[in-house]
Amino acid sequence: MNIEGKKVTEKVGSILGNYQREKGMLVSILQDVQAEYNYLPKDALMEVSQGLDVPLSRVYSVATFFKSFSLKPRGRHLINVCLGTACHVRGAVRILEKIERELGINPDETTEDLKFTLETVNCVGACALGPIVIVDGEYSGEMRTDKIIPLLDKYD
Q: By the criterion CB under 6 A, which residues form the site for ligand FES?
A: 82, 84-87, 123-127, 130, 132
Task: Please tell me the distance from the alpha carbon of residue 124 to that of residue 81, in angstroms, as a whole number.
Answer: 10
Task: Please tell me the distance from the alpha carbon of residue 123 to that of residue 112, in angstroms, as a whole number.
Answer: 28
Task: Please tell me the distance from the alpha carbon of residue 32 to that of residue 47, in angstroms, as a whole number.
Answer: 13
The distance of closest approach from Cβ of residue 30 to ligand FES in the complex, given in angstroms and rounded to an integer, is 29
Output 87 or 99, the one with its CB closest to ligand FES.
Answer: 87
- The angle, 0 to 180 degrees and rounded to 10, between the axes of the packed helices 42-52 and 26-37 is 150
The distance of closest approach from Cβ of residue 36 to ligand FES in the complex, given in angstroms and rounded to an integer, is 32
The distance of closest approach from Cβ of residue 130 to ligand FES in the complex, given in angstroms and rounded to an integer, is 5
Output 3 or 127, the one with its CB closest to ligand FES.
Answer: 127
Task: Please tell me the distance from the alpha carbon of residue 135 to that of residue 51, in angstroms, as a whole number.
Answer: 35
Q: Is 44 exposed, middle or buried (0-12, 13-18, 19+ CB in 10 A)?
A: buried
Q: How far is CA 6 from the centre of its chain?
A: 29
The distance of closest approach from Cβ of residue 131 to ligand FES in the complex, given in angstroms and rounded to an integer, is 7
Output 46 or 127, the one with its CB closest to ligand FES.
Answer: 127
Output 79 or 132, the one with its CB closest to ligand FES.
Answer: 132
Q: Which residue is nearest to ligand FES (CB)?
A: 84
